[in-house]
């Protein structure tokens, strides 16, 4: 199996030893504590599950700036985006060596992790602006990722962490949420050697399904891991439970037996386009995938990124040798009326736009909201049925 990044073994920060876990949980209740942001909580969950291995905790401002500027921390190790714990108020924890980090997304704000404090640094407006520009490619606060990043405080709490739970993800999505450790174990159980990963924050339509199959055929993969984001999205996106049901139905009916794993991870969407694509590849290697599909406008939003910027960044900006995972570069995929099958549009140069079944997201949402199933060339009828039932609840 492919090695994790920077090590022969995965290094999850969740405390698996029962005795240590119970002792740390008891200690945490007596420690000074702070409720962290949703973005920081997602970072902790990802570190706990081994996805961000070999990262040991939250970055200093210097390391965060290094990652923003050239994807490297001060010690030269590779990481594609800053992993920060930004706070608005640090008066209660100043001078403390050990602090409990409380979950903003669970009632009662239980302790999510414990941090050994290396530093509490004030982040200047110029530093925030520089990180925003480099990671998101814009400082426009209409961009949902920019808005979420800048809505956090200006004090960076850094240091190694030990994670005590996986927030609401494990309880709300028990059949879907998986750590990188668990996915690696399941891959071994399946006996897969060549594994494709597919990222999604949306339900999978026919084109997505066929894209996974195309990638599997092209690299002779044993299986595909459909890996959906389970954290916070922008308003209007379809909730995770609905996506989960739709994707599971598609996998059950339209993939060969034992060829697909439907899983999810606990993280808030950044909508950072190219930089988020690199982060996605980073943690897909850590969870054991050998190949990762990146299509048009991967992890994008609006018109902030070029259609293929999330592919070219791997050739132009990712440090050489930083990643072992292979990128499967995909074009827009759609049903060809001429060929009676789904194809990548670049593979059909003799086609005009009218030769494809193309529907905008707005049009699809409008159809589903009116109880009209998109054509079967666009969406499997069983998937459309689940989505129509969801939209019916909104009226």
Catalytic residue among 201, 206, 340, 365: 201
At 63, the pLDDT band (50, 70, 90 cuts) reads very high
Angle at 367 between CA 365 and CA 372, to 5 degrees: 135
**Tens-place pLDDT, residues 242-283:** 999 999 999 999 999 999 999 999 999 999 999 999 999 999
Which among 298, 302, 303, 301 is positioned nearest to 274, based on CA atoms?
298
**Tens-place pLDDT, residues 183-200:** 999 999 999 999 999 999
**Tens-place pLDDT, residues 187-244:** 999 999 999 999 998 889 999 999 999 999 999 999 999 999 998 877 778 888 899 9
Helix, strand or coil for residue 291?
Answer: strand
Helix, strand or coil for residue 337?
Answer: coil
**Tens-place pLDDT, residues 369-391:** 899 999 999 999 999 999 999 99
Please, are residues 97 and 117 in contact by the beta-carbon 8 Å criterion?
yes
Please state the rounded mean pLDDT for residues 54-75. 97
Q: Determine if residue 85 is left, alpha or beta; phi over 0 gives left, psi from -120 to 50 gives alpha, anything else beta.
A: beta
Q: Rounded distance, CA 25 to CA 214, Å?
A: 47
Helix, strand or coil for residue 101?
Answer: strand
CATH 3.40.50.2300 fits 175-265+271-394, yes or no: no
- The CATH number of 18-167, from 1.10.150.130, 3.10.400.10, 3.40.720.10, 3.40.50.300, is 3.10.400.10
User: Which residue in the block uniquely carries the two structure tokens 């009218």?
Assistant: 354
Tell me whether residue 201 is one of the annotated catalytic residues: yes
Domain extent listing, the chain: 18-167, 175-265+271-394
**pTM higher than 0.85, yes or no?**
yes
Catalytic residue among 25, 98, 154, 202: 202
Angle at 252 between CA 255 and CA 301, to 5 degrees: 80
Helix, strand or coil for residue 121?
Answer: strand
Q: Rounded distance, CA 360 to CA 286, Å?
A: 34
Helix, strand or coil for residue 76?
Answer: coil
């Amino acid at each position: 199996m492919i090695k994790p990044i920077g090590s022969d073994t995965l290094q999850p920060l969740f405390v698996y030893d029962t005795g240590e876990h119970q002792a740390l949980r008891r200690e945490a209740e007596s420690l000074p504590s702070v409720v962290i942001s949703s973005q920081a909580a997602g970072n902790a969950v990802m570190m706990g599950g081994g996805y961000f291995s070999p990262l040991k905790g939250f970055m200093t401002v210097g390391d965060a700036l290094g990652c923003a500027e050239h994807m490297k921390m001060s010690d030269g190790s590779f990481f594609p985006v800053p992993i920060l714990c930004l706070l608005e108020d640090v008066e209660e924890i100043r001078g403390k060596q050990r602090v409990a980090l409380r979950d903003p997304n669970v009632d009662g704000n239980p302790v999510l992790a414990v941090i050994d404090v290396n530093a509490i640094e004030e982040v200047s407006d110029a530093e925030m602006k520089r990180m925003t520009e480099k990671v998101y490619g814009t400082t426009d606060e209409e961009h949902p990722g920019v808005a979420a990043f800048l809505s956090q405080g200006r004090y960076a709490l850094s240091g190694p962490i030990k994670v005590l739970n996986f927030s609401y993800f494990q309880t709300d999505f028990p059949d879907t949420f998986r750590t990188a450790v668990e996915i690696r174990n399941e891959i071994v159980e399946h006996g897969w050697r060549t594994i494709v990963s597919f990222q999604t924050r949306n339900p999978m339509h026919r084109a997505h399904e066929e894209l996974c199959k195309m990638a599997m055929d092209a690299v002779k993969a044993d299986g595909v891991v459909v890996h959906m984001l389970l954290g916070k999205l922008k308003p209007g996106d379809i909730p995770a439970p609905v996506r989960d049901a739709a994707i599971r139905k598609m996998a059950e009916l339209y993939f060969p037996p034992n060829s697909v794993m439907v899983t999810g991870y606990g993280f808030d969407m950044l909508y950072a386009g190219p930089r988020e694509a690199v982060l996605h590849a980073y943690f897909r290697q850590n969870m054991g995938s050998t190949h990762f599909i990146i299509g048009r406008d991967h992890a994008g939003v609006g018109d902030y990124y070029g259609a293929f910027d999330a592919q070219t960044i791997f050739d132009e900006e990712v440090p050489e040798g930083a990643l072992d995972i292979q990128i499967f570069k995909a074009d827009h995929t759609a049903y060809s009326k001429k060929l009676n099958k789904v194809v990548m549009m670049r593979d059909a140069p003799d086609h005009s736009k009218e030769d494809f079944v193309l529907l905008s997201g707005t049009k699809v949402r409008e159809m589903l909201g009116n109880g009209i199933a998109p054509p079967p060339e666009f969406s499997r009828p069983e998937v459309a049925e689940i989505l129509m039932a969801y939209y019916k609840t909104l009226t």
